[in-house]
Amino acid sequence: MARRIAVIAGATRGIGFALTRALARAWDADDRVYLTARRPADGQAAVDRLAADGLAVGWLPFDLADPASPGRLAAVLGERHGGVDVALLNGAYIPRPAGRRPMMRGR
C-alpha cells in the first residue's frame, strides 16, 4: 500500500493525543503521523510519550488563533509529502469578539 500521511491538530493531550496514538498503532511503519502543538515543549513532550511506547510520530506547530497558521501547516506538509491523506481537527478555538463581555462570571 502507498505511504499515508496524517495530521491530528490539537493532539498534545486528551482526545487528540488518544487519536494520534491509535492511528500510529494502526498504520504501517512507512506511514507518517504528525500531531500539532502551539508550544514546542508540549509538542516534543507528546512525541516523547509516544516514542516511549515505540510509536514514531512527528509534531508540527499549529495555532487556530493565528489565521496564518493553517496555511503554514499545509505548506509544510505539501513540501514534505505532497499533501496529506487524513487531517483531523481536534483542538477548538472560539474567538471572542472585541468589546464583548463574557456571559458568565469568572470566565
Ligand X SMILES: NC(=O)c1ccc[n+]([C@@H]2O[C@H](COP(=O)([O-])OP(=O)(O)OC[C@H]3O[C@@H](n4cnc5c(N)ncnc54)[C@H](OP(=O)(O)O)[C@@H]3O)[C@@H](O)[C@H]2O)c1
Which of these ranges, 11-19, 22-30, 50-58, 70-78, lies near ligand X under the rule CB under 6 A? 11-19
Task: Specify whether the CB–CB gap between 20 and 53 falls below 8 A.
Answer: no
Angle CA 75–90–106, to nearest 5: 120
Within 74-103, the residues that bind ligand X by CB under 6 A are 90-93
Q: With binding defined as CB under 6 A, does residue 57 bind ligand X? A: no
Q: With binding defined as CB under 6 A, does residue 16 bind ligand X? A: yes
Q: With binding defined as CB under 6 A, does residue 45 bind ligand X? A: no
Q: How far is it, in rounded angstroms, from Cα 98 to Cα 11?
A: 28
Q: With binding defined as CB under 6 A, does residue 40 bind ligand X? A: no
Strands 57-61 and 32-37 turn out to be: parallel
Nearest distance, CB of residue 19 and ligand X, angstroms: 9
Going across the sheet that includes 5-9, the strands are: 57-61, 32-37, 5-9, 86-89
Selected binder of ligand X within 1, 2, 65, 94 (CB under 6 A): 65
Show the DSSP H helices in 34-104 as ranges.
Answer: 40-52, 69-81
Q: With binding defined as CB under 6 A, does residue 37 bind ligand X? A: yes
Q: With binding defined as CB under 6 A, does residue 62 bind ligand X? A: yes
Question: Which residues of the chain form contacts with ligand X (CB under 6 A)?
Answer: 9-16, 37-38, 42, 62-65, 90-93
